[in-house]
Amino acid sequence: MAWLWWLGAALLLGVAEFLSLDLFLMMLAGGALFGMVLALLGVPLWGQIVGFAVASTLMLLALRPWLLRHLRNRVPLVETNAAALVGKIGVVLSEVTERAGRIKLSGEVWSARTENDEVVTVGDEVRVLRIMGATALVTRHVDSPQPPGPGTPPSPNDKSQETTS
């Protein structure tokens, strides 16, 4: 009758694995199936538990890394949450310096800062380098317009320097 408990545990772990998709619970489900086989062979409960633990550990250490490697080769890893924001373009809401600033990123307002004493002005676009807690570490986006420095001639599209007659 103990084999039914092992089978139930394996089924529950298998269903939970479909929700997590981490290949961790599946290894435990495999260990539970091994415990079920031991129960069917008449091994005492302590032997079933040891067998479950050993089989689960072996699968976690040997089978899971191999499965994950092959799974990632077939299906690209999709970043989620903050990791998905790295590389995205945001718009500066308040000047961003190496100490503070605010940007709009994917429809949300984020605190932001830059590296290397870079200052990005309001309205410029920035690229997210990494997320550190609730702060985006950014740099000026290359396609973003930069204010002309001293001695820089105005661009041909700059209408602010034209005079009307």
Instruction: Tell me if 64 sits within 8 A of 24, measured CB to CB.
Output: yes
- pLDDT tens per residue across span 110-122: 889 988 788 888 8
Most confident of 32-41, 106-115, 117-126: 32-41
Give me the residue label for tokens 């105005």: 154
Tokens coding 41: 């062979």
Q: Does residue 72 register a pLDDT over 80?
A: no
In 3D space, the residue among 26, 23, 63, 28 whose CA is nearest the CA of residue 49 turns out to be 28
In order of start, what are the domains of the chain with their CATH numbers? 2-74 (no CATH), 81-140 (2.40.50.140)
- Residue, of 153 and 118, whose pLDDT is higher: 118
Q: Does residue 107 register a pLDDT over 60?
A: yes
Q: Does residue 161 register a pLDDT over 70?
A: no
Average pLDDT for residues 120-142, to the nearest whole number?
Answer: 86
Residues 6+ apart with CB under 8 A from 10: 29, 30, 32, 33, 36
